[in-house]
Every structure is written in C-alpha cells, then in structure tokens.
Chain A
Amino acid sequence: MKLDDKLFLVRFNTDKLNHIKIIDPNVCLKQCQDKPCTRFCPAHVYDWDEEEKRISVGYEGCLECGTCLIGCPFGNIDWKYPRGGFGVSWKNG
C-alpha cells in the first residue's frame, strides 16, 4: 500500500497557518547533501523541489510526531505544534 493512500485515511483539521518553517533554505541548497528529511518523515511532508531548488513543506499532512525537529542534521527545521484544535485528529490512536 502506498504512503499517499495511507495518508488519505488520516483525519485533519487543517489550519490556514503553517506550523513548519525551513529556517534557512540556503542550508538545504548548499550544505545539506543528503536531504534526509525527504526520507525520515513518516508522512513525507518534505520534498526536494528541483525547479525551485528548495525543500517544499506540505504541512497540511503533518502527523505531528516531531521526527523532523530532531532528525534535521542542521537543526534547520522550525517545527512546532499546530495551534490548539488544529492538525491531525486521530480516529483510533
């Protein structure tokens, strides 16, 4: 089963505000060879946009685990919880 199909099953109260920021896009472009965030995020929130030469952030699909905050080797992801009441809303847990 593909990840996109699994994520389709998750319920969200999507906020119009983005709760995730890449602190310095230049770090992703110039210093980060590996771009591990594009792999370790369980929801594939992070993707390398080859045209724009930056990491695109699909915050709407964030499962709020916190892996990115800890895993980014450059500490370049400013990840917070969404505002109260927004974000993922599990059906089973």
Chain B
Amino acid sequence: MENFDVIIVGGGPAGLSAAISAANAGMKTVVIERGDYPGTKNVMGGILYTKATDMVVPEFWKEAPLERPIIEQRIAMLSGNEAIMAGYRDPAWGVEPYNAHSIMRVKFDRWLAEQAEKAGVMIITETLVEDLLYQNNNVVGVRTGRAEGDLGAKVVILAEGVNNFLAVKAGLAKPLKPASVAVTVKEIIALPKEKIEDRFCLEEGQGATIELYGDSTAGLMGVGFIYTNKDSISIGVGAILEPMIRNNWTPNDLLENLKAKPYVKRLLQGGETKEYLAHLIPEGGYHQVPKLHRQGVLVIGDTAMLMNSLNREGSNLAMISGKIAGEVAAQSIKSGDVSDQAMTVYETRLKDSFVLKDLHHYRHMASFFEDNPHLLKVYPKMLSKAAKMYLTADGVPKKARQKEIIKMAFEHRSIAGFVKDIYGAWRALL
C-alpha cells in the first residue's frame, strides 16, 4: 500500500486549495478525483472571489482561465411581469485587485489542479473513494474503487462536495435533508461578446451579475441568477428541495419559468443553449455544519456546509477552509499528533475567520424564511404595486397617492405582521 502524508478526497476548489497548502508545507500530498480530470464533475453558479483565490495562488488572475471581472451586481425582485431592481457598479472592480470573476469550473478547476501539481501534489483521476481505512478505530487512509486501491495517509481531508457520503460514513455528518439543500439547474447560453456587453452596458471584457428574487422561483425559497461569461450567459435557478417537492415543481420548469420572464427574456434573446447542468447547494447553515474533524480527518468546503447563500459566497469559503485544513494537517503531522484534539485547531481557525463568523451571523436565516413562507409571496407583490402606484402619472396628487400606497400595504399585511417581519429580518440578517 502506498503511503502519503495527506490524502484529499475531491478535486474542487476546496480540495485543491488544501492540497496546495499541504504541499507547500512539505507534505507528500495526493488528490483523488472521480472525474476524467479535476473539473469535469464540478458545477457552481459561476462566481469566484479574488481575495480568497489570491491567498491560495497569488496573482492567479494573470494566468488563470477567467471569464469576466464583475463590475456590476444587480438584484431584481420579480412579480408577475413586473420587476424592481437595485444594484451597484464600480468600474474599479474591472481592474486589479478585482473583487470577483465569472468562471467556468471545468476550465478553472483543471488550471487550479495544474497549480497543485506544480506545488508537488499528485493527482489521481477517474478514481472514486469508497470508504476510509481504519486501524484500531484510527483513520489510516482510504479505500478506492480500484483493484488493490488502498492508500495510506496520516491525515485525510474530505472535500467530496455537497454529497457527503464519506463524512456520513465516518460519523461526522448526518445525511442531508430536503430542507437543507437547494436543487439548482443552470444553462450556459452562447451569445456574441458585443451583444453581452450591449445588453448589460459593459465595456469590453467587463462582467455583471443579477440575482433574481420573488417570482423568479415561483415563490419557492430560492434565487435565480444570471452571470455574464466571455461569450455566453449562465442562467440558473435554485430552490430548496422540500418546498419544491411540496409544490410539485420540476427544476427545469422552474428554469423555463424564469427564462420566460420579460425582464430576463430580452437578455437571452437569440442565444443558443450549450449545456444544461444540475447541482445541489448546501443550505443547512450554521446549525447543520457537521463535526469538522476527528482523529486523522478534516472536513472542508461544501461537505462542511460552508455556504453563505445570502451573499452567494461559497467558492471562497471552500478555498479558505481548504487552505487552513492543509496547513493544520501539515502542522499536526510535523508535530506527530493527528489526534482529534490536535485537529481542533482547524475549527478554531475557521471560527476566527469570516468563514464560520458569517455562517454564525446568518444562523437564524434559514429558519426565518422557512417559518415565514409568505415573505417571498407578499412582499414582491406589495412592493411592485407600491412602485407602480408611485410612478404612475395619472393626475392623483402625490400626497393622496402616498396615503393610498400605505392603505394598500396594510391590506397585504397587518401592523403586527409588519413588526414581526421586520423584527425577524433584523434578527436573521443584521
């Protein structure tokens, strides 16, 4: 049996970041990936954050295959054919040091794996890890699907993605539930560069994002998104599985529903769909973060439920958790102590970083929306109505119109209801 210092299960941003930091600390490191090469099994909406990535591969933007730097982030709340929009744009985000880029995971992850190889990491592809190897209840490696496929390791890092088979088998995580994952489908729609830049008011090469709430998910807890790539647009929609099942929606119908919205349709017009993708997003939040370590094992990225959906941050949490895990694995191995106790350093460092701080900050959010399904139905409609009433020039004096708007709002929700919603939102989001 071949032995390594660190075995990482899964070649996504989390696993590859862990591999790079372990190898940089002198560890004999291997990444085991079930796809043809890292990237071919990997899906995300498509936004990569500069700061976190720079901490893993300094100045990555000079070489990495990126689509467009994001200079504008818009949010839109849809109600029927109507939309209310808000956004922020700063052309400074289009140049160094950037804030975020759209990416294609197949290209980007492959490139990140090459950086790992340059750092001395070995990458084994087309290999599925089936279980951890134990000796006297201690984890000593992994069992792969290959003949004579056992590999030994002092520390195993689980970066297997949202489907947490190994973390469950190791007693660290619980099986996922329909309320704690969002089923997300996405299309890549090819469009000429000039059309993308015209439709989103971008200079050459710049990118924009739109997150869509309200009727974008037919009132289900979830979000739609539109991201600009070099010569395509990624459009997707994700909704929590539990209400999706309860309301008999199919993911593809939800996506077609979004694509047909007047606000969206014109952005995609004339484009040609190149790929249709599906993926789960871990939405359990802080309270469902699994046990992050045990003797000889660390859990990172989506497997660790590290996802801040409100700010649509995930890849950065994955990469930072990976970087820290690689460092902690190396330190523990060097000091000859890979006990559960030694591994707690990983959790402490995550708690000291934005990763677990942000999850903790939003810890009431999932239950707030779950317990108040009316939020996604009442407010988009009410706000759209209010905007329409306010902006319609029909001879009604504005003072009278404002009174009408207030009256209309209270027809949708009582004073007590508003107070409850505002308090709940305050507690969940601020």
Residues of A within 8 A of B (CB): 1, 3, 6-7, 9-10, 13, 36, 39-40, 42-44, 63-67, 69-71, 73, 80-85, 87-93
Contact = CB atoms under 8 A, between A and B. Distances in A.
Contacts of A89: 35-36, 40-41
Of A7, A43, A91, chain B has the most CB atoms within 10 Å of the CB of A91
A3 B369 CA distance: 30
B105 A85 contact: no
Contacts of A84: 34, 125-128, 144-146
* Secondary structure class of chain A's binding surface, majority of residues: loop
B403 interface: no
A70 B109 contact: no
Contacts of A64: 41
Contact of B241 (A1, A7, A13, A40): A40
A6 B189 CA distance: 11
Interface in B217-252: 232, 241, 244-245, 248-252
Interface of B: 34-36, 39-44, 104-109, 125-128, 144-146, 162-163, 165, 175-178, 181, 183, 185, 187-188, 232, 241, 244-245, 248-252, 256, 273-280
Top 10 closest pairs, chain A to chain B, by CB: A93-B105, A85-B126, A6-B276, A42-B278, A93-B106, A66-B163, A42-B251, A63-B278, A84-B127, A84-B128
B293 to A, nearest CB: 24
Contacts of A87: 41
A9 B181 contact: no
B277 A63 contact: yes
B36 A13 contact: yes
A93 B109 contact: yes
A57 B344 CA distance: 43
A85 B34 contact: yes
Given A90-B277, A93-B40, A93-B109, 14 more contacts: A36-B245, A40-B241, A42-B250, A43-B278, A63-B277, A66-B163, A70-B175, A84-B128, A85-B127, A90-B40, A90-B43, A92-B106, A92-B232, A92-B275
